[in-house]
Amino acid sequence: MTNAFIAFISIVLLGIVIYVKVWWDGAGMSLRFTKWFFGICLVAAAVVGIGTFFAG
């Protein structure tokens, strides 16, 4: 269970780092992009976390 939690948090942190990098470059982030980006990141993190939980 600890590995699944670590995998989940890792994907969430990776998403935050990517978002901040794109924001810092001045790409003009909209609220719509932000909602979609974090929604996709949370789904990816959930899939990875659940997969890691059941894999071992």
> What is the predicted pLDDT for the residue at 27?
74
Contacts by 26-34 with C-beta closer than 8 Å and gap 24+? none
One-letter amino acid of 32: R
- The CA-based dihedral angle spanning residues 24, 25, 26, 28, taken in that order and rounded to the nearest 10 degrees: -90
Global pTM reads 0.84
Mean pLDDT by groups of 10 residues along the chain of 56 residues: 92 94 86 93 95 90
> E strands of 1-56, at which residues?
none
Q: How far apart are CA 22 and CA 28, in angstroms?
A: 9
> What is the predicted pLDDT for the residue at 43?
96
